[in-house]
Amino acid sequence: MNWELIGLSFITVFLAEMGDKSQLAAIALGGCSKSPRAVFFGSVTALILASFLGVLIGGQMAAFLPAQALKAIAAIGFAILGVRLLWGQFGSSNN
């Protein structure tokens, strides 16, 4: 078992999820629910399933594309999201 990769994956996902919409939704559901344990297990199950699908799709894509191409696609995707967020932020203040 590759403990370094497990640790890196844990840290990356943990930091990415801090303050995320899913965490805020879990806080809201846990606060208004009479069963916070059910909210916890539902949230954990959803995160596990989403991560599983991401790994599965990433593994399938890696069979067809080299790692450099996957990294480039991810970088371009994040850059587009960032530009769209900035564009929306500054575009809405001009109206």
Tally of domains within the chain? 2
- Flag whether pLDDT at 93 surpasses 60: no
71 & 88 share domain: yes
Residue ranges making up the domain that contains 90: 66-95
57 & 78 share domain: no
Q: Are 22 and 43 in contact (CB under 8 A)?
A: yes
- Residue 58 Cα distances to 1, 70, 95, angstroms: 20, 9, 40
pLDDT digits (tens, 9 = 90+) for 52-82: 998 999 889 889 899 899 889 989 998 998 8
81 & 41 share domain: no
40 & 2 share domain: yes
4 & 40 share domain: yes
The one-letter code for the residue type at 93 is S
Burial of 1 (0-12, 13-18, 19+ CB in 10 A): exposed
pLDDT digits (tens, 9 = 90+) for 12-63: 888 888 777 888 888 889 999 899 999 999 999 998 999 999 899 988 988 9
58 & 73 share domain: no
pTM (2 d.p.) = 0.63
58 & 84 share domain: no
